[in-house]
Amino acid sequence: MNHKIKEYLLLLIALLFGLIVAVVFAPKNNFFFGNFAYFWGPQAIIFLLIIVLRFRIGILTGCAFILAIFLLVFHSWVFSHDRPEALVWIFYLFSFPGAGVGAILAGFFCKRYSLNNFQSIVFSALATFIGLFISLCIIVQQA
Residue 126: pLDDT band by 50, 70, 90 thresholds?
A: very high
* pTM for this predicted structure: 0.91
Structural domain boundaries in the chain: 3-142
- Per residue in 21-51, pLDDT (tens digit) is 999 998 888 989 998 999 999 999 999 999 9
- Left if phi > 0, otherwise alpha if psi is -120 to 50, otherwise beta: which for 88? alpha
The candidate with the shortest Cα–Cα distance to 94, out of 60, 131, 124, is 131
Residue 54: pLDDT band by 50, 70, 90 thresholds?
A: very high
Work out the angle between the directed axes of helices 57-78 and 3-25 (0-180°, nearest 10).
20
The candidate with the shortest Cα–Cα distance to 107, out of 43, 45, 63, 68, is 63
